[in-house]
Amino acid sequence: MGFADQRFTVNLSILFTELPLLERPAAAAAAGFTAVELWWPWTDSPTPKPSRLDALGKAIEAAGVRLTGLNFYAGQLPGPDRGALSVPGEESARFRANVEVATDFAGALGCTTLNALYGNRVDGVDPAEQDALALENLVLAARAADRIGAVVLVEALNRPESPRYPLVSAPAAVAVVDRVNEATGLGNARFLMDLYHLSRNGEDLPEVIDRYTPRTGHVQIADDPGRGAPGTGSLPLADLLDRLAKAGYDGWIGLEYKPGDAPSTGAFDWLAARARAAR
C-alpha cells in the first residue's frame, strides 16, 4: 500500500468553520473530499432535537460525502473541556444520555468510528474513582457501537494543551483500550493515533507507528508546532504517512488542523503536491 491508496477525511469541526454547520459538507465535497468527520456538533446539548440531527444528516447525504467519524458528547470543544465520560456528576450523565443518540445518528449514516474523549481530572476526586467511571462509560459506549458494527476510539491528547487530561501518551491510551476490550469481550475498542498530539508529547512517532498501528482504529494529523496544515510546521508528515501505509494502516486519515487566516479551501494544497510527487 502507498500514498495513492490512502484516504483522507476532513474534520468539519476545525475546517470550514467559517461556514454554518449545514453548509460545510457541501464545501468539503466541492474541495474534492468524499468523507467528513465531526466532533459532537452541539456542545450545548448531548440530546438535541431530532430536527437538528435530521438537518445535519440530510446535509451530509445531499453533499454526497460519507460520515466516517463522530465524537460522542465531550463538553465544550474547542474549549477547556477534554471529554465528559470520566467526570463525575452531570457531565458523565450527559455523556451516557448521548451514547444512544450519537450511535443511532452514526449508524444511520454508515459511520463506523466513534471517538470517546476521556475527560479531565477533577479536583477533590480520587483519580481511581474517575478511572472506574470512565471504564463503566466506555463499556456502555462499546456495546452501543457494536450494535451498529462500529468501533470506539480512545485518544491520547497532549500535556501542554490539556494538562488535566490523564491520557497523554500512546501507551496510556492503549492501556485503556485493553481494559475496555477485556471488560466487554467485543474487541471493538481501538486507539486513535493523532500524530499532532503525540508529537507535542515528545513521543517517537516512527516507533509509535511501528508498535501501535495494529491497534489503531483511526489516524488524525496536523503539523507541529501550530496545528496547521502539513508543511506549516516541522513534522515530517509525508514520511510518517508513508510509514503508516507500510505498517499496513488502510483506514481513513483525518485532517484535523487549523486552516490559518485564509479560507479553508486554501488549506489542502499540500495534498495536490503530494499526489503529484507520488505519480
Residue bearing cell 516507533:
207
Query: Grid coordinates standing for 137?
Result: 462509560
User: Burial of 78 by CB count in 10 Å (0-12 exposed, 13-18 middle, 19+ buried)?
Assistant: exposed
- How far apart CA 173 and CA 211 sit, in angstroms, is 13
Q: How far apart are CA 203 and CA 55, in angstroms?
A: 41
Kindly compute the dihedral angle of the four CA atoms of residues 60, 219, 273, 12, in this order, to the nearest 10 degrees: 30
Which are the catalytic amino acids?
155, 256
CB atoms within 10 A of CB 108: 14
For the chain, the straight-line distance linking the first and the last C-alpha, in angstroms and rounded, comes to 14
Cα 230 from Cα 224, distance rounded (Å): 9
- C-alpha distances in Å from residue 160, one per residue of 154, 166, 197, 198, 200: 19, 12, 9, 11, 7
The C-alpha atoms of residue 16 and residue 212 are separated, in whole angstroms, by 31
Q: Under a CB-based contact definition with an 8 Å cutoff, are residues 89 and 81 in contact?
A: no
Q: Which DSSP symbol is given to 262?
A: S
